[in-house]
């Protein structure tokens, strides 16, 4: 493994979850971006990752199978990334199935809420089309609302309408996600760790409490290089990774046209030396060529 950082992006989404690129389109965009290592981390699904794995050519970048579980417990929300797991393992398939079921319940509740609270009604075929998706989420519904004139755009739909629904939503617990990744031979990593729900900022004290708890469950790393972090936040997470003996990863959180973030925009690329804890992550993930 070389000392330079290369071009790395370990946090990418397809339209299997809330991205807009198909797996085929994402792979082509990854090639154009000149990445050397990448991972696809769709929410509560690794169908896109498996599809891309089957399409890879010998000259393509190194690929690491990935997933991102949306989790919540009594203390808040967490997004847990899983890397390098066996997609055929029962544990991770069970967790994906549970997460998908929760997403379907939430989406059905959102359609009912929008109809009852605001009088927003959609054609039956539009509702069925969204419910037929692998992992429908707020962006899918927000785009549909904008298309029917119920909101100015996706962000307006989510902020001013969809998020008005307050119910006791079901989520995968962080310990459940971490355990299933570990049992499936993977590496669990905390995504964008300084953010909780949406852009909610996690205080330094709470961050340490979270890391202590999650490491007790088996957490192995943190996403220290992230498109939403400034240099100070990245430095903070690198320090915490050292303190808690955790790997670090780098991800853009690319969603195609659903977010204004480019592939490889991680805060890492351009650095002349690969951080030691990122090298350790790649070694643990079995990456030899970079």
Give residue 168's pLDDT band: very low, low, confident or very high (50, 70, 90).
Answer: confident
Least confident of 16-20, 69-73, 173-177: 16-20
Other beta carbons within 10 angstroms of residue 186's beta carbon come to 28
Which residues make Cβ contacts (< 8 Å) with residue 179, sequence separation at least 6?
91, 217, 218
Q: Looking at the predicted structure, is the pLDDT value of residue 4 above 60?
A: no
Per DSSP, what are the bridge partners of residue 195? 201
**Averaged over 54-67, what is the pLDDT?**
97
Q: 143 and 89 share a domain?
A: no
User: Contact at 8 Å (CB) between 37 and 12?
Assistant: no
Whole-number pLDDT of residue 271:
62
Residue 223: strand, helix, or coil: strand
Whole-number pLDDT of residue 75:
87
Q: 106 and 150 share a domain?
A: yes
Residue 133: strand, helix, or coil: coil
Q: 68 and 191 share a domain?
A: yes
Other beta carbons within 10 angstroms of residue 26's beta carbon come to 25
User: Contact at 8 Å (CB) between 218 and 278?
Assistant: no
Q: 195 and 92 share a domain?
A: yes
Whole-number pLDDT of residue 290:
65
Q: Looking at the predicted structure, is the pLDDT value of residue 123 above 70?
A: yes
- pTM for the full model? 0.89
Burial of 97 (0-12, 13-18, 19+ CB in 10 A): exposed
224 located within any domain: yes
Please tell me the total number of residues recorded for the chain in this structure.
290
Span 240-284, pLDDT tens digits: 999 999 999 999 999 998 788 999 999 886 565 788 999 999 999
Q: 86 and 118 share a domain?
A: no
Whole-number pLDDT of residue 289:
66
Residue 77: strand, helix, or coil: strand
Give residue 1's pLDDT band: very low, low, confident or very high (50, 70, 90).
Answer: very low
Question: Residue 256's domain is classified under what CATH number?
Answer: 3.20.20.140
**Averaged over 117-136, what is the pLDDT?**
92
Q: Looking at the predicted structure, is the pLDDT value of residue 213 above 90?
A: yes
How many angstroms separate the Cα of 276 from the Cα of each of 2, 62, 237, 284, 290? 12, 19, 14, 12, 14
Q: 278 and 248 share a domain?
A: yes
**Averaged over 6-18, what is the pLDDT?**
92
**Averaged over 45-67, what is the pLDDT?**
96
Whole-number pLDDT of residue 200:
76
2 located within any domain: no
Is the Cα dihedral 126, 132, 137, 140 positive or negative?
negative
Whole-number pLDDT of residue 199:
67
Of residues 148 and 195, more confidence is placed in 148
**Averaged over 198-210, what is the pLDDT?**
85
Q: Which domain holds residue 237?
A: 8-96+185-284
Of residues 132 and 217, more confidence is placed in 217
Give residue 89's pLDDT band: very low, low, confident or very high (50, 70, 90).
Answer: very high
Span 178-203, pLDDT tens digits: 999 999 999 999 999 998 766 678 88
Q: 88 and 202 share a domain?
A: yes
Of residues 31 and 271, more confidence is placed in 31
Whole-number pLDDT of residue 229:
93
Whole-number pLDDT of residue 155:
92
179 located within any domain: no
Q: 44 and 76 share a domain?
A: yes
Q: 156 and 230 share a domain?
A: no
Strands 8-12 and 37-40 turn out to be parallel
């Amino acid at each position: 493994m070389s000392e330079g950082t290369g071009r790395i992006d370990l946090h990418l989404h397809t339209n299997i979850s809330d991205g807009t690129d198909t797996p085929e389109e994402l792979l082509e965009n990854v090639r154009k971006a000149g990445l050397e290592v990448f991972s696809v981390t769709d929410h509560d699904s690794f169908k896109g990752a498996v599809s891309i794995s089957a399409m890879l050519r010998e000259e393509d970048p190194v690929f690491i199978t990935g997933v991102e579980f949306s989790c919540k417990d009594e203390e808040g929300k967490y997004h847990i990334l899983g890397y390098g797991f066996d997609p055929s393992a029962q544990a991770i398939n069970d967790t994906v199935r549970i997460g998908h079921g929760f997403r379907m319940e939430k989406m059905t509740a959102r359609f009912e809420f929008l109809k009852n609270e605001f009088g927003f009604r959609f054609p039956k075929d539009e509702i069925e089309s969204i419910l037929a998706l692998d992992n429908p989420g707020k962006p899918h519904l927000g785009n549909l609302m904008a298309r029917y004139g119920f909101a100015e755009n996706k962000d307006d739909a989510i902020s001013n309408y969809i998020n008005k629904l307050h119910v006791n939503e079901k989520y995968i617990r962080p310990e459940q996600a971490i355990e299933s990744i570990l049992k499936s031979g993977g590496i669990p990593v905390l995504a964008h760790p300084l953010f909780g729900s949406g852009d909610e900022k996690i205080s330094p004290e709470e961050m340490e409490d979270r890391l202590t708890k999650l490491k007790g469950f088996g957490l192995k790393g943190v996403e220290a290089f992230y498109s939403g972090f400034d240099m100070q936040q990245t430095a903070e997470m690198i320090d915490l990774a050292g303190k808690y003996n955790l790997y670090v990863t780098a991800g853009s959180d690319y969603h195609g046209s659903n977010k204004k973030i480019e592939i490889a925009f991680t805060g890492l690329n351009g650095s002349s030396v690969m951080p030691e804890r990122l090298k350790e992550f790649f070694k643990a993930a079995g990456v030899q060529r970079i």
